[in-house]
C-alpha cells in the first residue's frame, strides 16, 4: 500500500484560503474545520514534526490550533484542525480602520506572550547557532573587514532559551473569535527576541522592498506592509526613543538579510534568487559600513 493510500482523502475545491506559510496553505474546509495543505514533495517526517510541535506549543501556552488527522489532498498531504472557526488577518484588517490598530497591538501582545515562555536547553533549534551556520554563505559577497564585523555582531547576541516563532507575519496569524491564533509551528526556535523582530522586518520591509508581490502575498500593499513593520517595532519596544528604534531595526535587517541569503542559496530554482541576494548583500554592506 502506498503512502498516499494510508490516509483518508478530502477535497479543498471551492474552499477559501485563510492563511499561507512557507510550507503550505490553510483552507477553511467546513464551518468548524481547517486544513493546512503542504507543498508538493514535503516529506511526511516534516508534516509529522509540525503536528508534534503544534501540540507541544499548545501545551506550552502558545495560542495555536490543535492538530488532529493527517489527510490526503490530491497528491499532497494536509493536517486537519477541527473545532476552529477563523478568518485571515488580511480580511480582518480590511474590515475597518479600528481592526488595523487592534490587530497590531494584539500581534505584539501575542509575540511577547511567546517570548515569556522558556524552553529547556536543546528542546528546540537555537536560532543564534543557525544564524552562525548561515554566515559562511555571506562571506564570499562582502569584504573581509565587514564580514568580521558581521560575525562579531551575531556572536555578541545574548544566548537565550526564549521561545520564538521565527516566522511571525500575518499569513501565519488567524483571527478566531476576535483573538489571534498562530500557525506554522515548524519554525519554532529559541533565541533572543531580536531574531523574531528580524522575521518581522523581512516579511514587511525587506522582501516587499525587493519584490512588491511579497506584500501582495500577505494580502496587503507595500505601503501597508511598511506601516505594519514600523508600528510593530514601536509597540514591541514600547517607550524606546528614536535612536533605539533605529538601532533595533538595523540589527533586525542585518539578521534578516543573512537569513534570506541562506534561503535563496538553498533554493536555486526561485526566479528572484539573484535579485534578492544582490539586494541583501548591498544592504548588509551599507549597514555595516555606516553603523557598525
What's residue 240's pLDDT? 76
What's residue 26's pLDDT? 87
Which grid coordinates are listed for 206? Answer: 525587506
Count how many Cα atoms sit within 13 Å of the Cα of residue 277 in the half-sphere of its side chain: 19
What's residue 1's pLDDT? 35
State whether residue 83 is helix, strand or coil.
coil
Tens of pLDDT along the chain (292 residues)?
344 458 889 999 999 888 777 788 889 888 888 899 998 888 898 899 989 999 999 999 999 888 888 999 988 999 998 767 788 899 999 998 899 999 999 999 999 999 999 999 999 999 999 999 999 999 999 999 999 999 999 999 999 999 999 999 999 998 988 899 998 888 999 999 999 999 999 999 999 999 999 999 899 999 999 999 999 999 999 877 899 999 999 999 999 999 999 999 998 888 889 999 999 999 999 999 987 6
What's residue 222's pLDDT? 96
What's residue 231's pLDDT? 96
What's residue 82's pLDDT? 72
What's residue 213's pLDDT? 92
| 70-73 and 76-82 beta bridge pairing | antiparallel
What's residue 19's pLDDT? 76
Radius of gyration of the chain (CA): 19
What's residue 83's pLDDT? 65
Is residue 147 a contact partner of residue 138, using CB atoms and an 8 Å limit?
yes
Q: Which domains does the chain have, with CATH numbers?
A: 3-85 (3.30.200.20), 88-291 (3.90.1200.10)
Q: Residue 81: CB partners within 8 Å, gap ≥ 6?
A: 33, 34, 35, 36, 65, 66, 67, 68
Amino acid at each position: 500500500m502506498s503512502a498516499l493510500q494510508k490516509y483518508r482523502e478530502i477535497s479543498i475545491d471551492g474552499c477559501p484560503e485563510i492563511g499561507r506559510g512557507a510550507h503550505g496553505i490553510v483552507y477553511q474546509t467546513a464551518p468548524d474545520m481547517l486544513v493546512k495543505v503542504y507543498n508538493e514533495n514535503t516529506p511526511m517526517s516534516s508534516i509529522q514534526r509540525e503536528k508534534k510541535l503544534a501540540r507541544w506549543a499548545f501545551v506550552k501556552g502558545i495560542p495555536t490550533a490543535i492538530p488532529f488527522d493527517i489527510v490526503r489532498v490530491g497528491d499532497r498531504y494536509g493536517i486537519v484542525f477541527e473545532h476552529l472557526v477563523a478568518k485571515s488577518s488580511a480580511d480582518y484588517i480590511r474590515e475597518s480602520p479600528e481592526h488595523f490598530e487592534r490587530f497590531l497591538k494584539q500581534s505584539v501582545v501575542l509575540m511577547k506572550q511567546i517570548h515569556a515562555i522558556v524552553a529547556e536547553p536543546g528542546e528546540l533549534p537555537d536560532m543564534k547557532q543557525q544564524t552562525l551556520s548561515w554566515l559562511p554563505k555571506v562571506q564570499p559577497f562582502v569584504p573581509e573587514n565587514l564580514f568580521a564585523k558581521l560575525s562579531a555582531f551575531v556572536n555578541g547576541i545574548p544566548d537565550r532559551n526564549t521561545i520564538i516563532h521565527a516566522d511571525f507575519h500575518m499569513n501565519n496569524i488567524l483571527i478566531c473569535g476576535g483573538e489571534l491564533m498562530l500557525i506554522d509551528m515548524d519554525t519554532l526556535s529559541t533565541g533572543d527576541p531580536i531574531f523574531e523582530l528580524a522575521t518581522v522586518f523581512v516579511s514587511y520591509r525587506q522582501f516587499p522592498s525587493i519584490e512588491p508581490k511579497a506584500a501582495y502575498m500577505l494580502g496587503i500593499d507595500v505601503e501597508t506592509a511598511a506601516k505594519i513593520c514600523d508600528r510593530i517595532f514601536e509597540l514591541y519596544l514600547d517607550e524606546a526613543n528614536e535612536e533605539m528604534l533605529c538601532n533595533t531595526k538595523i540589527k533586525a535587517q542585518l539578521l534578516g538579510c543573512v537569513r534570506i541569503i541562506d534561503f535563496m542559496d538553498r533554493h536555486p530554482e526561485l526566479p528572484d534568487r539573484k535579485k534578492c541576494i544582490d539586494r541583501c548583500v548591498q544592504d548588509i554592506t551599507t549597514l555595516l559600513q555606516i553603523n557598525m
